[in-house]
């Protein structure tokens, strides 16, 4: 049982354990969190008229398109049917972040988990499906520590008050993630709309589509390549760890007993090991039950290049996969460039996230537009 619990905790690490920094005193405090008895042991495009608008601005032309798509994502998609949609989302995200700064990381992470498993169709938000199978959020890679679904509920309810049945949950999530990036310090992100909501969500589809914190660089690169991203894109997307935090129990084996050696991970800087040992208790001890979360870098609510600077200059990366990017010849040059140029990461991250938000989308007559993001209509 102990080994099972440890493995489960490790799975949560990669873009999975982005939480509110501990010094905000609310590390897991989101209203109405998703609770599932299975994990109780762990503490831890609706407006078809817009399709005919003249010469709409579309997403990245180099992005591989879903061959089933009948229309493309466009800016101003709800201009005629729900003119205030984007502003409503922006206002709601801003209000949420005032009291929950970690929502910036949670919403970005939530979209990653949605898009990398079957495309950006809001399937991550479903509590159940007609077949009765376990849904994506019940998988070990998501589970109780996946935050943000309740925040989308709140945003969606405001949209339903203004424009019932118009704005999809998939677009709501994409707009919220884009606004989170803006609040995190990036230039305003384009709000590409037109996604429909998927009808399927299976926990079994998650395995192999979300990375593990102990993966090799070969596994990491292979996964991102399958999703249409090259080595540089992968490094940039890993920059999502510029915001949020990871629980000590996810990485503390690197401090106390790396690969059962009884020593620390040699890829960690010695000063970093000393720093983190003052915060995290040995996972083999009872005291580890009280372990907190640790910010990925010193600016946990700002999307900046500090994560990369720390990796290069201090060898400080909480997750082994992050540090491995600086040590692998296929990715090291990109880590160094991002560390050296403070303007490069904000520019690159917005661009790659925009492409990611177009993965495998349903449009036109596909899917549905849910009025409640947790359950299907059809």
Residues that constitute the known binding site for Ca(2+): 114, 117, 119, 121, 123, 136, 297, 299, 304
Q: From CA 102, how far away is CA 293, in angstroms rounded?
A: 12
Distance of CA 76 to the CA centre of its chain: 24
* Binding-site entries for substrate: 211
Contacts 24+ apart (CB under 8 A), 215-220: 215/14, 215/321, 216/324, 217/321, 217/324, 217/325, 217/328, 217/330, 217/331, 220/321, 220/324
Extract the tokens encoding 22: 């501990």
Angle between helix 332-340 and 231-238 (nearest 10):
50
User: Phi, psi at residue 195, to the nearest 5°?
Assistant: -75, 145
Determine the Cα angle at 44 with ends 119 and 324, to 5°: 60
Residues 6+ apart with CB under 8 A from 224: 230, 231, 233, 234, 237
* Inter-CA distances, 276 with 74, 98, 288, Å: 45, 29, 13
Two tokens, residue 50: 């817009």
- The answer to whether residue 113 is catalytic is yes
249: which 2 tokens?
């129990």
Q: How many Cβ atoms sit within 10 Å of the Cβ of residue 209? A: 17
Out of 51, 52, 113, 247, which one is annotated catalytic?
A: 113
User: Which residue ranges make up the annotated binding site?
Assistant: 114, 117, 119, 121, 123, 136, 211, 241, 297, 299, 304
Annotated catalytic residues are: 113
């Amino acid at each position: 049982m102990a080994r099972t619990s440890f493995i489960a905790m490790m799975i949560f690490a990669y873009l999975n354990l982005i939480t509110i920094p501990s010094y905000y005193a609310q590390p897991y405090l989101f209203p109405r969190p998703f609770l599932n008895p299975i994990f109780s042991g762990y503490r831890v495009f609706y407006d078809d008229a817009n399709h005919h608008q003249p010469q709409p601005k579309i997403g990245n032309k180099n992005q591989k398109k879903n061959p089933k798509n009948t229309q493309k994502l466009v800016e101003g998609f709800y201009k005629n049917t729900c003119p205030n949609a984007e502003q409503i989302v922006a206002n709601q995200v801003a209000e949420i972040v005032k009291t929950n700064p970690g929502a910036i990381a949670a919403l970005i992470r939530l979209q990653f988990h949605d898009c990398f498993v079957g495309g950006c169709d809001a399937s991550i938000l479903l509590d159940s499906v007609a077949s009765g199978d376990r849904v994506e959020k019940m998988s070990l890679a998501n589970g109780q520590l996946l935050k943000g679904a309740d925040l989308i509920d709140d945003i969606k309810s405001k949209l339903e008050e203004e424009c019932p049945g118009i704005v999809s949950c998939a677009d709501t999530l994409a707009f919220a993630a884009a606004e989170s990036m803006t609040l995190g310090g990036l230039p305003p992100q384009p709000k590409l709309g037109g996604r429909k909501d998927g009808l399927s969500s299976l926990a079994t589809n998650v395995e192999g589509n979300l990375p593990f914190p102990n993966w090799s660089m070969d596994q990491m690169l292979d996964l991102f390549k399958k999703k249409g991203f090259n080595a540089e894109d992968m490094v940039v997307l890993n920059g999502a760890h510029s915001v949020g935090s990871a629980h000590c129990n996810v990485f503390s084996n690197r401090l106390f007993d790396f690969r059962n050696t009884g020593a620390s991970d040699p890829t960690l800087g010695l000063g970093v090991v000393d720093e983190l040992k003052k915060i995290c208790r040995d996972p083999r001890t009872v005291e580890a039950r009280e372990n907190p979360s640790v910010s990925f870098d010193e600016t946990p609510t700002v999307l900046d290049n500090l994560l990369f600077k720390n990796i290069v200059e201090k060898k400080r990366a909480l997750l082994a996969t992050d540090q491995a990017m600086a040590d692998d010849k296929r990715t090291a040059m990109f880590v160094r460039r991002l560390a050296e140029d403070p303007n490069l990461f904000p520019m690159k991250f917005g661009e790659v996230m925009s492409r990611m938000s177009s993965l495998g989308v349903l449009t036109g007559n596909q899917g549905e537009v849910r009025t409640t993001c947790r359950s299907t209509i059809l």
